[in-house]
A and B are shown apart, each in its own frame.
Chain A
Amino acid sequence: MRIFNHNIVAIVALAALAITTTSCFKDEPLNAECDIEKAWIHADNLNEMFYSATDTLVTVFSTDTKIVFTMRDDADITAIAPQFTITDGATITPANGSVQDFSKGPVTYTVTSQDGKWSRHYTVECNRLARFTTEVWNFDFEHFELDPLYHQFYVWHNTLPDGSLGDDWATGNLGFRLSKSFAKANEFPTVVLEQGYDGHGVLLTTRETGPLGMSQGMPIASGNMFLGKFNVAMALRETLKATEFGIPFEQKPVRLSGYYQYHPGDMFIDKNFNEIPGRIDAGDIYSVLYLNHDEEGNPTVLYGDNVLSSDLIVAVARVNDIKETNGEWIYFDVEFEYKSDIDIDLLASRGYNLTLVFSSSIKGASFEGAIGSQLKVDKVRLTCETKE
């Protein structure tokens, strides 16, 4: 009987131990994020406000701090009520859907996280854009600054035909930063070329991403620059989806010209960082015009994996054989080759996207190229058809 009692004591002791080791899960913490994920404007008189329905909705990336609605140049923007999709539980001021007067300039919205510990500021603006009928678009790479988020790498602004600055140039620098978070501005793949053909140019260099990039299957990063957006959210998961090529374009491009210099790096490597002896890297310069809606009318964008192969492509202008130039500026001038006729009405309603792409390694999208390959570009001209 005594032994039985001792058994009880031991069992109780063991049970007590078991209980102390079992911890309970706590209640879910409140959300700490405070993003605007989408912004849109509901307009009853859509055609008086926007050139296209697609322009009423802006998808906001996590790295964006500026939300721009492109509107007709004669739109009344004194009483606009933008609406936002924000992180669950977060709050926004001014209130979501409140009427604002955008004629006085951008309006700053503040989003505060559900847990109250974090907040982000966004500027929202309604950019009334005239229809451009310019014959020649100039891309001179003279307007650049350090990125607004990290103040670490360069970003560029394009000059619009009316002289205002656009935010249409994108690079993969933000993605490169994930592997080399301490890189200096001039150590990124896409940097300012101090002495271009005329003033500043842009210098694209294929860089090694180091052990971290290698572990993600991206041992190199080619220098790239393109008209479009870089979505860093996809940079590690589906890298080719990070480059969203193209901006709405209302004119019919006919030729692409400019100046480049190219120098291939010494050692060509593949995705697994194996050297491929005898293979010489090449640069790439091209422009693509494509339909920005699929057959069902859904907005579509071309990515790194289909920018030159999609069925939506209408025209391509590509500079062939970008090889060693021995330090000389080479003039290029290529025509757009049209695969199908262009629909003028669709063009006017912003139904086409145009991109312009420069890359220091032609196979850079699949992480093949030579470390140190350099492409210098300057004074690029896009000639469009003008209505006679």
Chain B
Amino acid sequence: MKRHISSVLAIAVALSAWCIEPVGTPSQTAGLKGDLMAATLSADDDNDKDKKHDDDNHDDLKNLKKFYHNLEGYGRLGYSIGGTAPLGIPAEIRKLNKFILQPNVSFGIDGIKPVSKNWGILVGIHFENKAMHIDATVKNYHIKFTQGGQTLEGMFTGHNDSHAVQWMFTIPIQATYKISNKWRLKFGPYFSYLTSANFDGFAYDGYLREGDPTGAKVFLGHTDEERGNYDFKDDIRRCQWGMGVGVDYFFTRRFGVYADLNWGLSGFFKGSFKTLDQTLFPIYGTIGIAYKIK
């Protein structure tokens, strides 16, 4: 188990090397990397202060080369569809009127270290957007309009237009199972850090009961000034995690397609955020093309 953890870390190191280097043919890349490592280490040799240290380095290099030998690398480019939504649609949400596709690109690289004939460990780094734009009909739905620190809160019945943007770096750490040369299944957690995020929207063509269902009834209209706007940007959690499952299918030795499902297990908003009665989880599916770099 310990060995596997160190493998994971080693893959992460190797991946970061890919990030800064141009992609050549696999053998070139490997050779180049080996030369670079050697060059770095021989620079250490010049100092020549501790022979044992050199030996260790030499062993490390050997180990790294050995480790590197059967390490597989993949580039991915995909598109995600999904939502940042409560688990199980609450009864207050009556109907989904619109689901507008968003520029949810996902790209990144994965390294897979085989640990047995079929099993492997995948670590990657992806940059992706998990955006969402929906229009739903709601009934007696708790809502809070905010503007510059002022709020208007209550129960809304009518149309609700929500828009979320989440640009993030994601690190998947997955177990892989190779069914055949073409098919591979993947399963494991992922961790994300959001570099920019937004969640805003407006309620329109309906009415608000201010406070609770017995409060003042206030109609909201259709135009910008007649509707109720909200923006919960400041309440979004920066770090997310969840579980991912996926499948890769390679139709040639290098080119393949993949489908992933990433199921958020951390709430989209901070724990202190109480405006929405339900916790929202980002749940997105990604399909795309994969290229085997090595």
Contacts and interface: CB of A to CB of B under 8 A. Distances in A.
A211 B147 contact: yes
Interface string B235-271: 0000000000101010000000001010000000000
Interface of B is mostly: strand
Contacts, number: 129
Contact of B221 (A113, A214, A218, A237): A237
A216 B226 contact: yes
A29 B140 contact: yes
A33 B214 contact: yes
Given A212-B152, A217-B225, A232-B216, A17 B261 contact: yes
Question: When A and B form their complex, which 4 residue pairs have the shortest distance between CB atoms, in order from nearest?
Answer: A211-B148, A217-B225, A62-B217, A32-B213
Given A14-B247, A233-B217, A3 B89 contact: no
B126 interface: no
Given A33-B214, A211-B147, A237-B226, A25 B247 contact: no
Nearest to B149: A211
A181 B214 contact: no
A2 interface: yes
Interface stretch (A39-47, A172-180, A246-254): A172-180
28 contacts: A2-B180, A3-B183, A10-B247, A17-B285, A21-B261, A23-B89, A24-B89, A25-B89, A25-B95, A27-B91, A32-B213, A62-B209, A118-B212, A118-B213, A178-B216, A178-B218, A179-B150, A211-B147, A213-B150, A218-B225, A232-B216, A233-B219, A234-B219, A235-B218, A236-B219, A236-B226, A236-B228, A238-B226
A6 interface: yes
Interface residues of A, number: 51
Contact of B92 (A29, A149, A181, A232): A29
Interface string B174-185: 000001101101
B213 A113 contact: yes
B247 to A, nearest CB: 5
A91 B213 CA distance: 15
A21 B185 contact: no
A93 interface: no
A23 B180 contact: no
B93 to A, nearest CB: 7
B291 to A, nearest CB: 20
B179 A212 contact: no
A62 B88 CA distance: 33
A212 B226 contact: no
Interface in A18-66: 18, 21, 23-29, 31-35, 62-63
